[in-house]
């Protein structure tokens, strides 16, 4: 039977990132995608034109509708207000599948998607429900409440990030100087995951990473193996990206 993975988050009109990209990525990874729409955005290559969270009752109903789907894992992306964060956290608890979160705070153009109250809700309500949270350097700094400018800063922030409740943290290192180094920590071990920097930019790498981790876990991989395989998948998509509407996209 094909494993089922739910993507939970916010739409992007071009499917360049977020849950609409997840649907394509999950299918490419050999699992059956299902979805909970928690927010709608209007974005182009450079700006967020509008954004609106879905009301909590509708989010809850979508989770309830998936009760018979046999969801094996969830990939969680951008959430737009505290009420939708709380509704998603409650829905994940009812669904019972492991959740892997890309805590999106700003769009690639720099416009904020999550305000301070929403970040606080992510810290309090969502992260304790997560098997893994995968912030980039900026997102990790906001979640940890401290500036992160170096690999040493990342290591120093790991206890604060784990104290927020996720079973594991993967801080992605694409914004560090030099070749990127991702750092995976689960409270028992800390592993640095290095790779040469590819000479391309790509929208949606955080979405791709978390969707791929969820897909590999749903197919029976350990978390460490799922992270390794997901990083390989993201690098493949970065190398194979295509231009579209002023962006470079994965598919």
Chain segment 57-87, per-residue pLDDT in tens: 999 999 999 999 999 999 999 999 999 999 9
pLDDT digits (tens, 9 = 90+) for 98-146: 999 999 998 877 788 999 999 999 999 999 999 999 999 999 999 999 9
Q: Residue ranges of the domains in the chain? A: 4-135+200-249
Whole-number Å distance between alpha carbons of 110 and 112? 6
- What pLDDT shows up at residue 109? 73
Q: What is the pLDDT of residue 62?
A: 98
More confident residue, 106 or 227: 227
pLDDT of residue 186: 95
- Inter-axis angle of helices 82-95 and 56-65, to 10 degrees? 20
Architecture of domain 4-135+200-249: 3-Layer(aba) Sandwich (3.40)
What is the rounded average pLDDT of the residues 159-163?
A: 97
DSSP 112: B
Residue 243's pLDDT is: 97
Report the distance separating Cα 92 and Cα 88, nearest Å: 6
CA 193, 222, 153, 114 torsion-angle sign: positive
Cα-based distances in Å from 127 to 51, 114, 163: 22, 15, 10
Tell me the pLDDT band of 10, cut-offs 50, 70 and 90: very high
> What is the model's pLDDT at position 110?
75
User: Cβ atoms within 10 A of the Cβ of 10, count?
Assistant: 25
Phi, psi at 16, each rounded to 5°: -80, -20
Query: Can you list the alpha helix ranges (DSSP code H) found in the chain?
Result: 18-28, 56-65, 82-95, 116-121, 137-144, 151-163, 205-218, 223-240
Q: Residue 178 pLDDT more than 90?
A: no
| pLDDT for 242 beyond 80 | yes
Mean pLDDT of the region 223-228: 98
For residue range 88-98, what is the model confidence (pLDDT) as tens digits?
999 999 999 99
> How much of the chain, in percent, has pLDDT values that exceed 90?
93
């Amino acid at each position: 039977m094909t494993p089922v993975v739910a993507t939970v988050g916010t739409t992007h009109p071009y499917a360049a990132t977020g849950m609409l990209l997840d649907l394509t990525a999950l299918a490419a990874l050999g699992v059956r995608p299902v979805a909970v729409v928690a927010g709608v955005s209007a974005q182009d290559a450079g700006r967020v034109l509008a954004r609106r969270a879905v009301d909590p009752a509708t989010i809850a109903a979508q989770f309830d509708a998936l009760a018979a789907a046999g969801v094996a894992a969830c990939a969680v992306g951008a959430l737009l207000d505290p009420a939708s964060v709380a509704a998603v956290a409650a829905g994940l608890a009812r669904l019972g599948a492991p959740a892997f979160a890309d805590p999106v705070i700003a769009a690639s153009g720099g416009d904020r998607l999550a305000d301070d109250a929403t970040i606080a809700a992510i810290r309090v309500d969502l992260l304790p429900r997560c098997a893994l949270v995968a912030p980039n350097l900026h997102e990790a700094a906001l979640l940890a409440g401290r500036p992160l400018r170096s690999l040493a800063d990342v290591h120093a922030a790991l206890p604060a990030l784990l104290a927020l409740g996720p079973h594991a943290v993967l801080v992605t290192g694409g914004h560090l100087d030099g070749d990127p180094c991702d750092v995976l920590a689960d409270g028992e071990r800390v592993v640095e995951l290095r790779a040469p920097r590819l000479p391309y930019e790509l929208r949606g790498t955080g979405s791709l990473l978390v969707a791929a981790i969820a897909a590999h876990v749903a197919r029976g991989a350990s978390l460490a193996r799922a992270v390794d395989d997901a990083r390989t998948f993201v690098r493949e998509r970065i190398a194979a990206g295509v231009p579209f509407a002023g962006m470079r996209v994965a598919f």
